[in-house]
Amino acid sequence: MASVAAGYLPILLFLIVAVGLSAAFVVLPMIVARFTGVHQPDAAKLSEYECGFPAFEDARAEFDVRFYLVAILFIIFDLEAAFLFPWAVSLGFTKWTGWVAMMIFLVELGLGLAYAWKKGALEWE
């Protein structure tokens, strides 16, 4: 029984060190900022950042669906790039079958891009 517990000791030590370092990297800069005077919030620092709508409102507030549309389009074309790398590496093994399958995939994505472009999904107004 003691040998089983001893087998978990390195994992426990690793977790303790990881939690300690994580806490130090999060808490220590906040403490230093408080004591050095860097912590000076103002209206500009507390305003919304990159999301386009106030972050501290009612959770059920309506906001523009274009944020979701841009995120979905980004994910689609990011996945395209993620599928191209393994395909390029394995092209020597898959030969013409792999090449044709990837061309069909790229044509489908190109049609999707053309459709989104024609519908105005890429324009922000």
Are the C-beta atoms of residues 94 and 84 closer than 8 Å to each other? Answer: no
For the chain, 125 residues long, give each residue's pLDDT as a single digit of tens: 567 778 888 899 999 999 999 999 999 988 888 888 766 777 776 666 656 655 566 667 676 777 787 788 888 788 888 888 888 888 889 899 989 998 998 898 889 889 988 988 777 76
Are the C-beta atoms of residues 106 and 99 closer than 8 Å to each other? Answer: no
pTM given for the model = 0.45
Sign (positive or negative) of CA dihedral 80, 86, 91, 95: negative
The residue among 31, 27, 47 whose CA lies nearest residue 39 is: 31
CATH of segment(s) 51-125: 1.20.58.1610
Are the C-beta atoms of residues 109 and 80 closer than 8 Å to each other? Answer: yes
Are the C-beta atoms of residues 55 and 48 closer than 8 Å to each other? Answer: yes
pLDDT of residue 112: 84
Q: Residue written as tokens 């389009």?
A: 73
pLDDT of residue 50: 59
Report the 3 state secondary structure along the chain: CHHHHHHHHHHHHHHHHHHHHHHHHHHHHHHHHHHHCCCCCCHHHHCCCCCCCCCCCCCCCCCCCHHHHHHHHHHHHHHHHHHHHHHHHCHHHHHHHHHHHHHHHHHHHHHHHHHHHHHCCCCCC
- What residue spans define the domains of the chain? 1-40, 51-125
